[in-house]
Amino acid sequence: MKFVAEALNLSPIAAKRLEEKNILRQAFIKHPFFADVIEALKLDRKFGEFEEGTLIAKTVDGLEVVRGYPKIKRALTLHPTIKKHFRGEVVLEEKMNGYNVRVVMFGENVYAITRGGFICPYTTEKARMLINSDFFKDHPNLMLCCEAVGEESPFVPKEIYGVKTIDFYVFDIRDRKTNVALPIKEKEKLAEEYGFNLAPILAEVHVSKAHEVAKDVIEELGRKGREGIVIKDPKMKRQPIKYTTSESNCSDLSFAFRFFGEYGKDFMFSRIIREGFQAFEFDERDEEFKRRCLRLGEAILKAMVESIREVKEGRKVYDKMRLRFYDLEVFELFKEHIRRMGVSAEFSEPFEDNGSYVVWFYRYMKSTTDKIDYILRGNLWQ
């Protein structure tokens, strides 16, 4: 706790309060793969100015604080929301569908920190292969805020980007101690210099026309099965806001209702509300509105019935993902990482594939399975 107090500039009493409220949690597993990290804790909740997911680490370089990624508020309408929150020009950036990762360097190695503040072995292995570490040698105070996307994601596997394995797309470059984001032009310049992928910039437009352009962009992204947009101030002085496509809302609902025992009502309800406001604002014709209604209803019912059928047939409900490792020690480390996260999971035996090892990751949805089984035995909904 002493190093946490020193790193966050807290009094011993305030640091003790963090411990008493169970806000601090171990952020990594001690292992030679994480050789530059001596100790690391993360904030499970916001504390003062420090965001949830903030990492506090004692490393070979000294004490390090990597701020958690700030939450982005959501727009339910494009007009007049954009006009109310921005001035002048705005940038419409694609919101890619993966998982949020902050990439930093401690000592001699790159580390990937997930949204919750864990140093993830699977993601770190990929980041060390794909991210140009010269960036951190030249800019040690900065962190790359990336979306990790692809078919071999352990959290959000997607085929829509044509990434067969996993790759990183930078959407922000921030000071890791202050969380101040670089202007978009500066981010683009650094990305070009160091060879980073960028989350696509889809338009730059004056705020007076932004809602019209955004509507067209959202409809086009929806046809491609993409997630949505983040609306940003080019200088990053104002907080961004996000907006999602109908297809993304329905995809989320399909996932949530398939595993309804694991996902809260707020998760489901909020996405239905998004659909209502979007349908109203987009002023759809009868046929378009009917297609939206069918898409929404199918997302809810089809996935849930699939889960009920599986349990009726004596099977467990699970999510299945293909992962790829280049070192079997990292595979063993990832298994322990998943266990410490409290995830009920099993892994297939790894098999070699062109110099790497492929593994199937089965995440069991115990709550959903148990609830369905309980109801199918004639018990009442509680």
The domain ranges of the chain are 2-66+97-198
75: left (phi over 0), alpha (psi -120 to 50) or beta: beta
- Residue 95: CB partners within 8 Å, gap ≥ 6? 199, 227, 228, 229, 230, 242, 244
Strands, DSSP E only, in 270-376? Answer: 318-325, 345-347, 351-353, 356-364
* C-alpha span between 174 and 279 (Å, rounded): 35
Structure tokens at 232: 């940003």
| Residue owning tokens 């020193």 | 6
pLDDT tens, residue order, the chain (382 aa):
688 889 998 887 887 788 788 899 999 999 999 999 999 999 999 988 999 999 999 999 999 999 999 999 999 999 999 999 999 999 999 999 999 999 999 999 999 999 999 999 999 999 999 999 999 999 999 999 999 999 999 999 999 999 999 999 999 999 999 999 999 999 999 999 999 999 999 999 999 999 999 999 999 999 999 999 999 999 999 999 999 999 999 999 999 999 999 998 999 999 999 999 999 999 999 999 999 999 999 999 999 999 999 999 999 999 999 999 999 999 999 999 999 998 999 999 999 998 999 999 999 999 999 999 999 999 998 7
Cβ atoms 145, 102 nearer than 8 A: yes
| One-letter identity of residue 180 | V
Angle, CA of 52, 57 and 59, to the nearest 5°:
160
* C-alpha span between 107 and 142 (Å, rounded): 14
Domain 2-66+97-198: what homologous superfamily? Answer: DNA ligase/mRNA capping enzyme (3.30.470.30)
Phi, then psi, of 76 in degrees rounded to 5: -95, -15
